[in-house]
Amino acid sequence: MLASQLLPDRTCVGCTRQVEWGCESDAALPQFQLDDEVLYRCPVRGFLEDPNGFNHLFSAYRWAKNGHFPDPGTWLDQPSGFMEAIDLIDRALEEASEEDKRRQKYRQAAAAAASAAAPKKPAAAHSNYVKGQ
């Protein structure tokens, strides 16, 4: 689900922040923004309210990315709302991918810093002493 990829901290089971995140009505603060589109409701909520609609949209998205459109013709012949949805999904996936890359880079930097800060074990002392001589 795209919303869960973009907002991994948003899980509905056991959520105690429904008022703050705009689960039942608009939140006081924006919950999500992609370009000029600002949402005051939790983006996960739309999927929960109409999962079949989102499943159809994502299925159509996959078909369109492979060159199979819902209406005859090329992409110029498709409904503008559908093409806007395709563009929105592309941009959201790109942002999610960039966020994944930033998180990966942060985790690698944190692991490197932790490794550098860890106390070093002293090297075993080498001796020319051979047991039994």
pLDDT in tens, the chain (133 residues): 455 555 666 677 788 888 887 888 888 887 776 657 777 787 777 777 777 777 788 888 999 999 999 899 998 998 888 888 888 888 888 887 888 888 899 899 888 888 887 777 666 555 565 555 5
Length of the chain: 133
Phi, psi of 26, deg, nearest 5:
-55, 135
SS3 assignment, position 123 = coil
Distance separating alpha carbons of residues 113 and 106, to the nearest angstrom? 10
Q: Is the pTM of this model over 0.85?
A: no
Residues in Cβ contact with 47 at an 8 Å cutoff, skipping those fewer than 6 apart:
1, 3, 54
Q: What is the pLDDT of residue 77?
A: 92
